[in-house]
Every structure is written in C-alpha cells, then in structure tokens.
Chains A and B, each alone.
Chain A
Amino acid sequence: MTNLLSPSAMGTDRVRVDGAAKVTGRARYACEHPVPHPVYLHPLQATIARGTVRELHTDDATALPGVLTVLTPFNAPPLETGTDAELEILQSPEVAFRGQLIGAVLAETPEIARQAAGLVRARYDREPHDVTLSADRDDLYAPEVVNPSLPTDTHDGDPDAAFAAAQRAVEATYTTPMLHNNPMEPHATIAIWDSDGLTLYDSTQGVHAMREVVTSVFGLEPDQVRVLAPYVGGGFGSKGTPHANLVLAVLAAKRTAGRPVKFAVTRQQMFSFVGYRTPTIQRVRLGADADGRLVSISNDVVEQTARIKEFAEQTGVPARSMYAAPNRRTTHRLAALDVPVPSWMRAPGECPGMFAPEVAMDELAEACGLDPIELRVRNEPETDPDSGLPFSSRNLVACLREGARRFGWDRRPRLPRSTLDGGWWVGTGVASSSYPVHSAPGSSATVRATGGGRYEVLIGAVDIGTGAWTVLTQIAADALAVPAERVDVRIGDTDLPEATVAGGSSGTTNWGSAIVEAAREFRQKFGADPHPGDELTAGMPELPGHERFAMRAFGAQFAEVRVNADTGEVRVPRLLGVFAAGRILNPRTARSQFIGGMTMGLSMALHEESVVDERFGFVVNHDLAEYHIASCADVASVQAHWLDEHDPHVNPMGSKGIGEIGIVGTAAAVANAAYHATGVRVRDLPIKADEFLEEAR
C-alpha cells in the first residue's frame, strides 16, 4: 500500500490557476510568443500518395520578393536517420503518402510564404498507391506488439468451440472510421536556432519528450535545446508524440541565421501529418448460456498502419479485462498502407475497442431477454480476466447501479421503437466504460522555499487543458501541508525538472507522485520552517502496487437519443456518466474532464468521420465545415458523477487518471440508445440520418 497523502487542498473545488489568462486571451500559445523579425514557413506537400519527387521547380517561388529560401529534399540539411521514418523528412525524394511534407517556403510574411508555396511545381514519378483498408486483404499481418507494448493476440480456452456451443450468441462486425484529433489550436512551433542553441515554443503535450526527439534527430545534446509550452490549446494525443511539422520548423531554423521561424500548421494540413485514429474493423463474437453468463468472448480486430512506420492501436485490449468468460480471444491484424502514420487519439485502444463489444453486449442482452445492465452485472469478474491479478479497485457494477438510478433507467420501455414524441423516436442506452491506470517513470520535481511561507514547485509538466496546473498546485500544497495559495507551480519548460508526456491519463500519477516525493524529502531535510532558497529535487518513486494489482478506472455511460421520424436526424439530448476513478482531486476540473470526454464521445458517435478518397489517397473532408465535431447545439445535457472510491494502491494521491475514460463507451451507449429508439441497429460509426431513412424507404 502506498503511503497515502492526507487530503486538504486535494478534493476541493478550485478555479483554474491559469483561468484568468485564458478567458481574457492573454495566455500565450506556441505561435503567440513575441519574437523579433520572424520568418514564416509554409510547407510543400506531396500531391501523390506514392512515388518519387523527380523535380521541384522553385525558381518562381524564390524570385518572389520576400522569399528567403525554399527547402526541398534536394537541398535540406541532413538529419540523423534510420530510427523514425515519420520524422526523417526531406532526406529522400520518396513519397510515402499524399500530403507528406516535401519542402517548405520561408518568407518575410505568411501571405508571401503561402503564395510562393503555390508557385512551386513538383514533378513526380508516380507509383500505384494502396490506401484501402479491408478485412479481406491477403496481406494483413500481426504486429509484434500493440500500443504501447502489449501482446498482439491473447487466447484462453477454446473460444470458437465455446461460441459454437453457446445457447445465446451474437456475432457481428462493427466499424469505426478514421478520426482526427483536431484540437482547437492547430500544431504550431516557433523555432529559434541561434548562438544560445535551439529554442522551441511548441504546442506539445510534453516538452521533454519533444526535446528528446529533437536532440536525437538533429544530433544535439539536451543542454542545447529548450522547449517551452506554457499554454497548449488541446492535443488529445496528437501532440503527444512529435510529428514531421516540428522537424520541418527546426530544419528551417537552421537556415535563417538565428531568425525565429514560425510554422503554424493549417487546419487542412492537420489531416495529413499530425496523426489520427486508425479506422477499425472489429469482428466480435459473444457466446453465453441461457442466463446470460458469457462462455466465450472474442474480438478480432483489423486496422491500418502506415507503410513507413508502424502504429498498432490496441483496440482488442479492453475486451481482455471487461467481463469474465472462460474462453477468450483477441487478435490484431494490420494493413500497411500508403497513408499517414496513425497515432494516439484520446483513449487509443479503449475508445474504439469498447464500441464494438459494448454494442455486442446490448445485442446479447436482447438475445438473452435480459436488461443490459443485468447482463453486465452477471458477467462481473472476480479478478482481472487478463492478468489474473486482483483489481486494486473495481466498481463497475456500482457505477452501473448508480447511473441507472440517476438516469431513471427503471422507466425505460423494454422493447425498442416504443416511444414517439413530437415526431422523434426516443430511446435510451447504456454501455460500460473503463480506462487503465497508467504510470511511467522519469518525472522529477523541485520544491523551493521562496520566503514568507511560500513555495515554488517546478516540474516540466504540460497543462493541455486537463487542469494539471491547478491540480498539481493542490497536490503540492497537501504534500507540503500548506494552503494552496502559498504554492506557485511552474510548468511547461525543459529548464524545469524532467516530466513525462501528458498522455495515457497518467500526468497526475507521474507528476503528482514526483511532487509528493520531493515535498516529503524537502520537509525531512529542511523542516517546517525552511530558509528562502532551500530547495530539493526528487524523482518519482516506484509505485509498488502496480506489480501486484490490475488497475483500471471504470464507469457507466447512459444516453438518450432522439431520431427524427421524417429525416432520420439523430440527436443526443442527454448523456449521463458515473465513474469510479479513485480520489477526485479537483471536482471542478475533473467534471470538465469527464464531460469533455463524453462530449467528444457524442461527437464520435454522430459526427466524426475522415473520408478517404481511395483514388487520390487522402482525406477529402479536411476542414471543420466538412469534418464535423459536435457544436454547442448538439450538446444539451451532459452530467458526470463519480463514486467515492478509495484506492490506496494506485499512487500517493489515491487518484486514477480521468482524461480519457469519459470518451470510452459513449458511442456505444449512443448506438444502443439509437437502436432502442428505432429498432435499427447501427454497427458502423458515425450514426447518420441515412441509416434510418434506408429503413423508411
């Protein structure tokens, strides 16, 4: 058991420490830092999906007044190569996907840079491309591991035989489309390479993670590179790993003799090279006895990766731990295509991987004549079915029960297509939610007394909107046993102690544990009344519980859906989630995390789909008018509640990550509600009007 911190500031409802700067707009995001005489970069992108750049005619561009230079694969500075093909841009003329960065114009103004980019003419040797994901391909392969380093396949018992013999069975294929993270702040960098070294103002989820990559790609030492990210306009995973835009900005900064280079990626460009969620094809088989007890669970997943770099989303993983069944299988098979490199998007694995099984559970409940909540309760495992370890805490059933009570589940008509209200079919649905408790070594923090009972706490963490800045202040206050008003937390700078990336809902665990350790050692060394300037740095200790327990947060998602009887338009007037995620450190920011995830889940359920035109090999609906994300009018009531969950094993704060669980299961709850409303089972996201009009015809 971890030595749990006694909560005082933790658990209280506090306004964000960065709030005033954000509401006025005074907070400076990456490209907003004032720098003298910036050079503006506009990238060149491949307009073929596979082949070779034979020539780039840049004369017209360079002749334009105000153009400084044009970077191309034929003149770019060399990089250290051989480790990450996504980042090793302009090192060869080969084109691996449409939209790939093949050059850049540097100019005195953004207008000139963009105009000049349009004047560059490329000639290609074009090769046939292949961007078609299908479960029928004969070249699907099993990756060695799936993200981050989990087994590709799992096999327990004889799932096929058990499925064939099951008294109740559901077998169906479910699909989720390609999705783009689309944080509101597009990826952006200011790169300054002068006599002091390289300074980067970057829109990133991890300053140290970016520095590590930049030093490796450019052959630099850590002390030559500083990365700053005090404010970041969202990331949702797309800023958690570096993408080629960062490398291009730094390459350009090598050529500007110390002048800052500004590279603000456009919204359209974000559909080409800053990551996305792979489309998934999930073949789910659930077998149960007549009482609804699962005898067989399998999810066979097909998804895509890029030919130049593998990313294998762990879509099958949640099916490994959710429900008890003696016979289980999960597999992942990939198609390596001429596409951009997929990457993290909010709850990789869990988010798509809970859609298919949780809709299948709804179908199984119907097959068994059971209430969908009761079906889930009957299949609650004693221990983690995957690892065999006990759960440090698991309150899925309590979440389902509490959610049912709050949502008014008992008033739900048993049969689908039972309620027509004012021209709208109305239904409700439920799905389970879950997200693992991740932790990673590598964070440290400094505690420094600044006099008058005040303290500075320094850690190179990043607040991408999670509330980390505020919550770390609360943790530090309790760790130092002082009021939160006496603590100033500084984050977002590699000059601060090293911190892990803001990803995997692990920031609070990693950074908070480091802060608690530093505070404890500080107090041991300097006592309760330190001198100004006393300071101590300590690293995050090992969290022993993580070896002995399976650790996950759980939740229950409820949705009400209305489908217009005339048009098939689908709306979600109500979402309600109940979560069990350890100690909630700041109810205000935590609620925002939950409802934010649920809102993105609603958006995924109804709106989001990156449409690849296979002839051209790229996403054609590449802006926010065509790639819809939910608007204010789409989101009426979203409630998030949580249980008081005491888990002494997860970390010194007793907290589990909450940044991602909100999106897990939402789309399944919506799909299940849409079925309950209409009797039409939609197994392919997003759920569009079209589906319900096919029926009408």
Chain B
Amino acid sequence: MIPFDYRRPDDIGTAVATVTGNPRAAFLGGGTNLVDHMKLGVAEPELLVDVTGLTSRDIERLPDGGLRVGAGVRNSDLAADPLVRERFPVLAQALLSGASGQLRNLATTGGNLLQRTRCVYFQDVTTPCNKREPGQGCSALEGYHRHHAVLGASRQCVAVHPSDLAVALAALDAVVRVQGPGGERTIPAETLHRLPGEHPERDTVLEHGELITAVDLPGLPFGPRSRYRKARDRASFAFALVSVAAALDVAGGLVRDVRIAFGGLAHKPWRARLAEDALRGRPAAPDEFRAAAEAELADAQPLRDNGFKVPMARNMLVSVLTELSAEDGAA
C-alpha cells in the first residue's frame, strides 16, 4: 500500500470538491472493499476522503410508499429496517445473503454498490487484467472463469459484478442519487453499472468525484411479494454463482406485473426485461416462467467452464416465480 492522506471534511460539497480536484483521490465508506484493494495494490489512492460521517445514515419514507436510503446506511441496518422488511423483502434478503454479519456492520449502501469484481486476475496485480490495466488482456477468458459472465461480456472482460444489493435495486427500479462537481443528478440503479465493452476499467457510469448520497426506492405495491434467491458453493459467506431478485403481481391467475434481475451472470446486475415482457398478461404458471427465463437467457454465451450458470439461472427463476405466485394474496 502506498502512503496516502486522509481527510474527513465537514460537508459533502467539500468532500466532492476535494475528490474532484485530485485524480488520485477516492471516497472512503466502510472500507470493506477499498481497503482490501489497497492492500492488494489494486487501488492506489493518494488521498482518502472519509464520507462515513457525511452521507445520511437515515431511511426516510417517501410519499409514494417508497423509501429513501442514505448512502451511509450500513448494510445491516438496512436489512433490519422494519419498513424494508415489510415493503421490499427482496432487498433485505439480498443484503442478508451478502458477506458476513461483521462485514455488513461496516459496509455502507453506497460502498456496496461500488464494490468491484471478485475475478481472481483482477485482484492479483501479477496477472494481466484489462479492468485493472486496460490493454493488458483478459486472463479469465481462457483461464479460471467458473464464476464469470455468460451475458453481455466482451473479449476485453468477462467479469461479473458481485453485489447482491445492486441486483435487488435493479429489480426494484431504484434510483441512485449522486452529487458531483456539477451538482446533483439521479441515475436509475439499472443503468448505474455498465457492460464492459471496450472499457472494462469502468464499472459504473459515475464520473470521478461523483458521490452516491442516497438510493430512492419507489413505491411498489407488490413489493411485499418479492424474493431474493442466491445459489452459491458454500451455504453462506460466499459470492453468488447465480442470484435472482424478483417481485410478482398476480391477478386472476395472470401476471399483472413483474420485476426480475439476475446476479452473477454479467458485468452488471442483469435486469431481465425480456422475461418481464414475456410474462406480463400471461398465466402465472411454471411453463410460462420457464419460457420467459429461456427467452432471457437465449443469448447467453457461456465460457468453457461456466455453462452450468444458464440452467441454474433458468431453474432459479422458475422456482422463485412459482413460489411467489403461490404466496398468500395471490388473487
């Protein structure tokens, strides 16, 4: 780790200005990913701007039945919040399936979204990686890639995004509130993360100096009927092989509305628009769920060793939607 300066400004404006003014500055939240990467030499900031005392640690009610989550809210507090548990169980479940109790007590909402891939080559500075050093080549393409992407990857990068929270937020049409040098802006959670394309070094659409200040969860009447399921090698404390976040609204045996996102399949949380479109107005039945899943996964391009992810994702989606359609309140 290289030496760095540490600052704790008094307000968000100063924090943003400070990071904006120094290309080698970084915001520090809970540190659970950034400090990890600094030890590995993957990240080498020369200035850390601690925002843990600046961004909100509150969860506020929004008039439409939604919630505004401060970027400084710890993962454990967000998962335990009674309103989150009641209105958006998929979000609480996603958070609780991530990391460990002692890490969730440190990790923040904003930081969680910005965690970087677990690709072993990205994390090891002695191996080539386009995400870490553009132009070096992708070691995972022909290497150890069991955990890697089957959708939306490029020859430059086949990494997957590791956050569980982000998958739930993508499904819930959450909106990420950002403060930057040019003021405030909002970004749909679904588009916060990008596909690698020719620039795998960029995980998100955020510009340097932009700080996530809050996440808005719009009201979703059928939010209570939502679920997160995560398949992993260990029963706990492991990143997803595949995960699925889904919310389902059934009326008269037909799918009135549905939200679906996958984790573990792509460089970003994979909002399953094709599957959603295929399901709206169709019977809430396993055959329909399966057809929708297959439509979404039709373009999957597995690598040598991760073909299992395709049937895994399909089966999980069918199973989660089947369970949700059987829940109390199904009309």
In the assembled complex, which residues on chain A have CB atoms less than 8 Å from the CB atom of B315? 565-567, 696
What is the minimal beta-carbon distance from B145 to any residue of chain A, in angstroms? 10
Known contacts A115-B3, A620-B121, A689-B312; is-contact A632 B238 (Cβ 8 Å): no
Known contacts A626-B120, A690-B308, A697-B311; is-contact A621 B144 (Cβ 8 Å): yes
- Complex Cα–Cα for A668 and B142 (A): 31
- Complex Cα–Cα for A565 and B120 (A): 29
Known contacts A613-B144, A690-B308, A693-B312; is-contact A567 B234 (Cβ 8 Å): no
Query: Is B14 part of the contact surface with A, judged by Cβ < 8 Å?
Result: no
In the assembled complex, which residues on chain B have CB atoms less than 8 Å from the CB atom of A632? 236
Known contacts A566-B315, A689-B312, A696-B311; is-contact A613 B139 (Cβ 8 Å): yes
Are the CB atoms of A566 and B316 closer together than 8 Å?
yes
- Complex Cα–Cα for A567 and B231 (A): 7
Q: Which of A539-594 contact B (CB under 8 A)?
A: 564-569, 571
Query: Is A531 part of the contact surface with B, judged by Cβ < 8 Å?
Result: no
Are the CB atoms of B233 and A620 closer together than 8 Å?
no
Query: Is A114 part of the contact surface with B, judged by Cβ < 8 Å?
Result: yes
A-B contact count (CB 8 A): 93
Are the CB atoms of B143 and A613 closer together than 8 Å?
yes
Are the CB atoms of B316 and A115 closer together than 8 Å?
no
Are the CB atoms of B118 and A626 closer together than 8 Å?
yes
In the assembled complex, which residues on chain A have CB atoms less than 8 Å from the CB atom of B139? 613, 615-616
Query: Is B235 part of the contact surface with A, judged by Cβ < 8 Å?
Result: yes
Known contacts A567-B315, A631-B235; is-contact A620 B143 (Cβ 8 Å): yes
- Complex Cα–Cα for A385 and B127 (A): 50
- Complex Cα–Cα for A94 and B251 (A): 72
In the assembled complex, which residues on chain B have CB atoms less than 8 Å from the CB atom of A620? 120-121, 124, 127, 143-144
Are the CB atoms of A423 and B144 closer together than 8 Å?
no
Q: Which of A589-612 contact B (CB under 8 A)?
A: 606-607, 611
Query: Is A630 part of the contact surface with B, judged by Cβ < 8 Å?
Result: yes
Interface of chain B, main secondary structure: loop
- Complex Cα–Cα for A411 and B23 (A): 67
Query: Is B241 part of the contact surface with A, judged by Cβ < 8 Å?
Result: yes
What is the minimal beta-carbon distance from A682 to any residue of chain B, in angstroms? 13
**Can you list, as one digit per residue, whether each of B34-63 has a CB less than 8 Å from chain A (1) or not (0)?**
000000010000000000000000000000
Known contacts A566-B319, A613-B143, A621-B120; is-contact A631 B234 (Cβ 8 Å): yes
In the assembled complex, which residues on chain B have CB atoms less than 8 Å from the CB atom of A259? none
What is the minimal beta-carbon distance from A129 to any residue of chain B, in angstroms? 14
Are the CB atoms of A607 and B120 closer together than 8 Å?
no
What is the minimal beta-carbon distance from B5 to any residue of chain A, in angstroms? 15
Known contacts A625-B118, A689-B312; is-contact A118 B41 (Cβ 8 Å): yes
Query: Is A47 part of the contact surface with B, judged by Cβ < 8 Å?
Result: yes
**Can you list, as one digit per residue, whether each of A400-429 has a CB less than 8 Å from chain B (1) or not (0)?**
000000000000000000000001000000
In the assembled complex, which residues on chain A have CB atoms less than 8 Å from the CB atom of B127? 613, 616, 620
Are the CB atoms of A633 and B308 closer together than 8 Å?
no
Are the CB atoms of A611 and B308 closer together than 8 Å?
no
Are the CB atoms of A628 and B233 closer together than 8 Å?
yes
- Complex Cα–Cα for A565 and B318 (A): 12
- Greatest chain B CB density within 10 A among A111, A565, A607, A689 is at A689
Q: Which residue of A lies closest to B323 (CB)?
A: A423
In the assembled complex, which residues on chain B have CB atoms less than 8 Å from the CB atom of A565? 315
Are the CB atoms of B236 and A633 closer together than 8 Å?
yes
What is the minimal beta-carbon distance from A116 to any residue of chain B, in angstroms? 11
**Can you list, as one digit per residue, whether each of A288-321 has a CB less than 8 Å from chain B (1) or not (0)?**
0000000000000000000000000000000000
A633 partner, pick from B146, B237, B316, beta carbons under 8 A: B237
Are the CB atoms of A631 and B233 closer together than 8 Å?
no
Are the CB atoms of A689 and B308 closer together than 8 Å?
yes
Query: Is B326 part of the contact surface with A, judged by Cβ < 8 Å?
Result: no
In the assembled complex, which residues on chain A have CB atoms less than 8 Å from the CB atom of B234? 607, 628, 630-631, 633-634
In the assembled complex, which residues on chain A have CB atoms less than 8 Å from the CB atom of B146? 690
Are the CB atoms of B312 and A628 closer together than 8 Å?
no
Are the CB atoms of A567 and B1 closer together than 8 Å?
no
Are the CB atoms of A694 and B308 closer together than 8 Å?
yes
Q: Which residue of B lies closest to A48 (CB)?
A: B126
Chain B interface: which size bin? 35 or more
Are the CB atoms of A689 and B241 closer together than 8 Å?
yes
What is the minimal beta-carbon distance from B33 to any residue of chain A, in angstroms? 11
Are the CB atoms of A568 and B312 closer together than 8 Å?
yes
Query: Is B239 part of the contact surface with A, judged by Cβ < 8 Å?
Result: yes
B233 partner, pick from A114, A688, A693, beta carbons under 8 A: A688
In the assembled complex, which residues on chain A have CB atoms less than 8 Å from the CB atom of B24? none
In the assembled complex, which residues on chain B have CB atoms less than 8 Å from the CB atom of A615? 139, 142-143
- Complex Cα–Cα for A613 and B126 (A): 13
Q: Which residue of B lies closest to A45 (CB)?
A: B126
Q: Which residue of B lies closest to A691 (CB)?
A: B308
Query: Is B7 part of the contact surface with A, judged by Cβ < 8 Å?
Result: no
**Can you list, as one digit per residue, whether each of B127-152 has a CB less than 8 Å from chain A (1) or not (0)?**
10000000000010011101000000
Are the CB atoms of B235 and A571 closer together than 8 Å?
yes
- Complex Cα–Cα for A115 and B2 (A): 6
- Greatest chain B CB density within 10 A among A607, A620, A634 is at A620
In the assembled complex, which residues on chain B have CB atoms less than 8 Å from the CB atom of A613? 127, 139, 143-144
**Can you list, as one digit per residue, whether each of A624-643 has a CB less than 8 Å from chain B (1) or not (0)?**
01101011111000000000
Query: Is B92 part of the contact surface with A, judged by Cβ < 8 Å?
Result: no
In the assembled complex, which residues on chain A have CB atoms less than 8 Å from the CB atom of B185? none
Are the CB atoms of B143 and A569 closer together than 8 Å?
no
In the assembled complex, which residues on chain B have CB atoms less than 8 Å from the CB atom of A568? 308, 312
**Can you list, as one digit per residue, whether each of B195-236 has a CB less than 8 Å from chain A (1) or not (0)?**
000000000000000000000000000000000000111111
Query: Is B242 part of the contact surface with A, judged by Cβ < 8 Å?
Result: yes
- Greatest chain A CB density within 10 A among B144, B234, B239 is at B234
What is the minimal beta-carbon distance from B48 to any residue of chain A, in angstroms? 14
What is the minimal beta-carbon distance from A629 to any residue of chain B, in angstroms? 9
Q: Which residue of B lies closest to A626 (CB)?
A: B120
- Greatest chain A CB density within 10 A among B146, B308, B315, B318 is at B308
Q: Which of A4-34 contact B (CB under 8 A)?
A: none
- Complex Cα–Cα for A564 and B235 (A): 12
Q: Which residue of A lies closest to B143 (CB)?
A: A613
In the assembled complex, which residues on chain A have CB atoms less than 8 Å from the CB atom of B143? 613, 615, 620
- Complex Cα–Cα for A633 and B312 (A): 21
What is the minimal beta-carbon distance from A102 to any residue of chain B, in angstroms? 13
In the assembled complex, which residues on chain B have CB atoms less than 8 Å from the CB atom of A622? 120, 124
- Complex Cα–Cα for A622 and B124 (A): 9
What is the minimal beta-carbon distance from B261 to any residue of chain A, in angstroms? 17
Q: Which of B259-317 contact A (CB under 8 A)?
A: 307-308, 310-312, 315-316
Are the CB atoms of B236 and A631 closer together than 8 Å?
yes
- Complex Cα–Cα for A613 and B121 (A): 10
Q: Which residue of B lies closest to A119 (CB)?
A: B2
**Can you list, as one digit per residue, whether each of B79-114 has a CB less than 8 Å from chain A (1) or not (0)?**
000000000000000000000000000000000000
Give 21 pairs: A residue, B residue, CB < 8 Å, sorted on A.
Answer: A118-B2, A565-B315, A567-B231, A567-B242, A567-B315, A568-B312, A606-B233, A607-B233, A611-B144, A613-B143, A616-B127, A620-B120, A620-B127, A621-B120, A623-B123, A631-B235, A631-B237, A633-B236, A689-B231, A689-B241, A693-B308
* Given A631-B236, A697-B307, 4 new contacts (CB under 8 A): A564-B231, A569-B233, A625-B118, A693-B311
Please list the 8 inter-chain residue pairs (A to B) with the smallest Cβ-Cβ separation, ordered nearest first.
A633-B236, A566-B315, A633-B235, A567-B231, A690-B308, A693-B308, A620-B120, A566-B319
Chain A residues with a Cβ under 8 A of chain B: 47, 111, 114-115, 118, 423, 564-569, 571, 606-607, 611, 613, 615-616, 620-623, 625-626, 628, 630-634, 688-690, 693-694, 696-697
